[in-house]
Amino acid sequence: MPYCQLVGATLLTNQLAMKTRNLFGWLTLGLFLVTSCGEETTQKETPQQEAQVQEPVSDTAYVVIQGNDRMMYDTKHITVHQGQIVVLTLKHVGKASKDVMGHNFVLLDNGITISEFGQLAAAAAATDYIPEEARDKVIAHTKMIGGGEEDVIIFQAPPKGLYDFLCSFPGHYSMMKGEFHVK
């Protein structure tokens, strides 16, 4: 834009000095400025557009997350893209039974915290630790599994944003939790 402003200032000064303020003069000045500015804008935008070209996003995101006998997931951050179909596999790589060291993967919608959900879930053994009163806050969840088991779920990624996930087995959410980022 400095070039554009320089041209504009120079022409404006000349125009005033000449004191020929006829309509044709102003139209010519205007046309010249539009042309100059337009060309400069085009030249500047081209490289930016090229830089923004990204790799095409796959339709499907495959996610594998592991839980172990030490009450831990192997990841605290999962990233997918909006609109993707998420194929998520939860693997329990430990040996403990699901009554002792059960793990699931619960993806929460916004509007409930991990601790709020975890506390409700602790009293929901009858429904596999998914509390009925907060089921509308669950985007997706696996079943509860024990050592050596795995479960696969398929769901559509929610809108762009940050979401929480947790294991809703009683007491596990303090350690087994993470961020699910939809880009």
- DSSP codes joined into one string, 31-60: HHHHHHHHHHHHHHHHHHHHHH--PPPPSE
Regarding 65 and contact with Co ion (CB under 5 A), the answer is no
Regarding 134 and contact with Co ion (CB under 5 A), the answer is no
One of 163, 165, 169, 173 touching Co ion (CB under 5 A): 169
Least distance between Co ion and beta carbon 137 (Å): 19
Least distance between Co ion and beta carbon 92 (Å): 8
Stretch that binds Co ion, among 92-100, 101-109, 115-123, 157-165 (CB under 5 A): 101-109
Regarding 91 and contact with Co ion (CB under 5 A), the answer is no
Least distance between Co ion and beta carbon 86 (Å): 20
Distance CA 145, CA 162 (A): 26
Regarding 141 and contact with Co ion (CB under 5 A), the answer is no
Distance CA 119, CA 102 (A): 16
One of 167, 173, 177, 182 touching Co ion (CB under 5 A): 167
- Count interface residues toward Co ion (CB under 5 A): 5
Least distance between Co ion and beta carbon 52 (Å): 41
One of 92, 137, 141, 172 touching Co ion (CB under 5 A): 172
Angle of CA points 60, 165, 59, to nearest 5°: 10
Regarding 173 and contact with Co ion (CB under 5 A), the answer is no
Distance CA 81, CA 54 (A): 13
Distance CA 77, CA 63 (A): 11
For residues 9, 14, 20 and 22, what is the CA-based torsion angle, rounded to 10 degrees? -40
Distance CA 146, CA 10 (A): 79
Distance CA 107, CA 114 (A): 10
Regarding 103 and contact with Co ion (CB under 5 A), the answer is yes
Least distance between Co ion and beta carbon 153 (Å): 16
- By the 8 A CB rule, do 127 and 102 touch? no
Least distance between Co ion and beta carbon 159 (Å): 27
For Co ion, the binding residues (CB under 5 A) are 103, 167, 169, 172, 176
